[in-house]
Amino acid sequence: MTPTKSSLTADDLLHLPDDGHKYELIGGELKMVPAGMRHEKIGMRLAMLLTKYLEKNPIGEIYGSSTGYKLPNGNVRSPDLSFVRIERLPGGKTPVGFGDFPPDVAVEILSPGDNARDVSGKLGDYLDWGVPQVWIVDPDDETVTVYRSLTDVQVFATGETISAEEILPGFSLKVASLFS
Task: List all residues 6 or more positions away from 92 whose beta carbon is below 8 Å from its beta carbon.
Answer: 86
The pLDDT of residue 35 is: 67
Q: Chain-wide mean pLDDT for the chain?
A: 88
Residue in 146, 115, 30, 16 with CA at minimum distance from that of residue 77: 30
CA distance 85 to 103: 8
Residue 161, in any domain of the structure = yes
The pLDDT of residue 4 is: 45
Task: With beta carbons less than 8 A apart as the criterion, state whether 75 and 26 touch.
Answer: yes
Residue 126, in any domain of the structure = yes
Confidence of residue 37 (pLDDT cuts 50, 70, 90): confident
Q: Domain tally for the chain? A: 1
Query: Which of the pair, 91 or 14, is modelled with greater confidence?
Result: 91
Print the domain residue range for 125.
Answer: 35-178
CA distance 49 to 172: 9
Residue 22, in any domain of the structure = no
For residue range 110-147, list pLDDT tens digits in order. 987 788 888 898 999 999 999 999 999 999 999 999 99
Residue 2, in any domain of the structure = no
pTM confidence score: 0.82
For residue range 160-171, list pLDDT tens digits in order. 999 999 999 999
Residue 144, in any domain of the structure = yes
Residue in 14, 142, 168 with CA at minimum distance from that of residue 86: 168
Residue 9, in any domain of the structure = no
Using alpha carbons only, give the angle 39, 144, 105 rounded to the nearest 5 degrees: 85
Residue 129, in any domain of the structure = yes
Task: With beta carbons less than 8 A apart as the criterion, state whether 107 and 46 touch.
Answer: yes
Task: With beta carbons less than 8 A apart as the criterion, state whether 52 and 7 touch.
Answer: no
For residue range 6-33, list pLDDT tens digits in order. 577 777 777 666 665 667 677 877 776 6
The pLDDT of residue 11 is: 77
Q: For position 45, which CATH number holds?
A: 3.90.1570.10
